[in-house]
Amino acid sequence: MKTLVVYYSRSGITRQVAEALARELGADLEEIAEPAKRAGVWGFLKSGREAFLKITPEINPGQRQPSDYDLVIVGTPVWANTMASPVRAWLTAHGSSLGKAAFFCTTASSGGEKTPRDMAALAGKNPLATAYFLEKKVKSGLVAEAVAALCAKLRQPAE
27-63 pLDDT per residue, tens: 999 999 999 888 889 999 999 999 999 999 999 999 9
pLDDT in tens, 98-129: 999 999 999 998 778 899 999 999 999 999 99
pLDDT score for 97: 92
Look at residue 21 and tell me whether its pLDDT is greater than 60.
Answer: yes
Average pLDDT of the segment spanning 14-30: 96
Q: Which domains does the chain have, with CATH numbers?
A: 3-155 (3.40.50.360)
What distance in Å separates the CA atoms of residue 61 and residue 68, rounded to the nearest whole number?
Answer: 15
pLDDT score for 1: 87
Look at residue 139 and tell me whether its pLDDT is greater than 90.
Answer: no
As a whole number, the mean pLDDT across the chain is 93
pLDDT score for 158: 59
Q: Which is it for strands 71-79 and 82-83: parallel, antiparallel or unpaired?
A: antiparallel
Backbone phi and psi for residue 153, each to the nearest 5 degrees, phi listed first: -60, -40
pLDDT score for 141: 84
Instruction: Tell me if 64 sits within 8 A of 30, measured CB to CB.
Output: yes
Look at residue 10 and tell me whether its pLDDT is greater than 60.
Answer: yes
pLDDT score for 33: 96
